[in-house]
Amino acid sequence: MAYPALGLEGRSAVVIGGTAGIGKAIAIGFARAGANVAASSRRESRVSETAGEIEQQGRCALRQTADVTDRASLEGLLDAAVSAFGKVDILVNCAGRHKRSPTLDVTEEEFSGVLETNLTGTLSACQIFGRHMIERGYGRIINMGSLGSSVGSYEVTPYTASKAGVAGLTRSLAIEWGTRGVLVNAIAPGVFVMPPSKAGTDPASRADELLARMPLGRFGEFEELVGPAIFLASEAASFVNGHILVVDGGFLASSTAP
């Protein structure tokens, strides 16, 4: 038996939240691995820019905005992707919100808003694209968790609750859909270098504390999430289902209190 391929030649992928940060790195990485890619988000300019970068890899791209809090928007994204590519083999859910605040100060509106994007939005995308995949008898869904999928985090209760929910959702869908040809997994990134626009969201002392707990002595780079995503999307992961793949440089191995 030949070793299963790690490439994505002939596959079509949709990356929601795929025009910045982790999502964009994965979208471009998928294109380099051979897939046609629809990298979508709410901002038309970012969608167009990322599509151009995908096309530079010699792959087909799609210019279609989407909002995970709007089911009609997600349904439109599916229709556009099927029209452009003929099918959707891979879905990556990267859209997310994050807010740091003491839990006593978090309003119900703030809590609901984070969950609506990070958890309910992920569910909506899984339902809409999962139905298409189940009808075809094939699919790979990769949800985006975090360290908060496994442990608590300081002053980010809504975010942590949402990412713990993503882990539970991932496992539940894996049980329901595995026998129907759709594998559902998640990636849980550790602490990664933020772009300049988001620098300073954590106090410097907090960053120093986190860095002191990193066994590799540094934070991760977004490109270091591309390989794990390609693996889960490829035939090399044909028996991986319901797994939360932690990519944290060993952070959780050295500490349970991020």
* Residues annotated catalytic, as ranges: 159
How open is the CA angle 96-43-194, to the nearest 5 degrees?
45
| Contact assessment for residue 150 and residue 188, using Cβ atoms and an 8 Å cutoff | yes
Q: Are 35 and 7 in contact (CB under 8 A)?
A: no
Bridge-partner residues for 144, per DSSP? 187
With beta carbons less than 8 A apart as the criterion, state whether 93 and 117 touch. no
The string of DSSP letters for 108-146 reads HHHHHHHHIIIIIHHHHHHHHHHHHHHHHT-EEEEEE--
Helix segments in the chain, DSSP class H: 21-32, 44-56, 71-85, 108-115, 121-136, 157-177, 204-212, 226-233, 251-254
